[in-house]
Amino acid sequence: MNIENLHTNRLEKLFGPITLHILEQNESIRIVELKDKNKLCRTFAIVKFMNINGEILKEAHDKIVKGELLGKTLCDYNIDFDREFIGSLQVKLPDWLKFDFKTNENEGFGFVSNIWVNDDSVEPNRFVFSKIIEVIPKELKKEFIHNIKPLQHLDLKILAMLNEAKIDVV
């Protein structure tokens, strides 16, 4: 993946330096906020780690769970990966997230994607490393959502991730 296409890089072009604030994390799930230099939350994200094959990916994953940004860390390790957009959904913003987004809107916009890793040193050599749900305030929708169709079906994995973060679908 081109580092310029990373979600964080796009945020940085709009708002300057972005920092990661971990709200909850273990070896399989991570719930974070991406904040700008003024500590304003620009993205709330839920990451479910699915498959950690290969030594290099394991090293990168260790750095990620120690607080590094996912996409930038994969790039730093020269790991070949692609983002597959699954779809978009509207979500209800809990009061604490409305406060962090500094919005009066009751709803936000999320998009679901898989991060596929390509690694010829393992079998299978192409696999899903993580599933990500990124929630943004409505005012950022036009900056991030291009040709991503609304989800027609919420599978149990997506619902479980949203439930873990106490986020409801509209």
Q: What is the spatial distance between Cα 163 and Cα 116, in angstroms, rounded to a whole number? A: 24
pLDDT in tens, 116-152: 999 988 888 999 999 999 999 998 988 877 677 888 8
Cis check: omega of the bond before 150, within 30 degrees of 0? no
Does the pLDDT at position 2 exceed 70?
no
Q: Is the pLDDT of residue 1 over 80?
A: no
pLDDT of residue 73: 95
Give 3's pLDDT tier (boundaries 50, 70, 90): low
Please report, for residues 92, 149, 156, 158, the alpha-carbon distance to residue 153 in angstroms, rounded to integers and kept in the order given. 17, 11, 10, 10
pLDDT recorded at residue 150 = 86
Task: Give alpha helix (H) positions in the chain.
Answer: 7-15, 55-65, 70-76, 95-101, 141-144, 156-164
68-95 confidence digits (pLDDT tens) = 999 999 999 999 999 999 999 999 999 9
Angle, CA 24 vertex, CA 23 and CA 29 arms, to 5°: 130
The answer to whether the pTM exceeds 0.85 is yes
- Residues 5-61: pLDDT tens digits? 688 998 999 999 999 999 999 888 999 999 999 999 999 999 999 999 999 999 999
CA distance 151 to 43: 19
The CATH fold assigned to 3-169 is Chorismate lyase (3.40.1410)
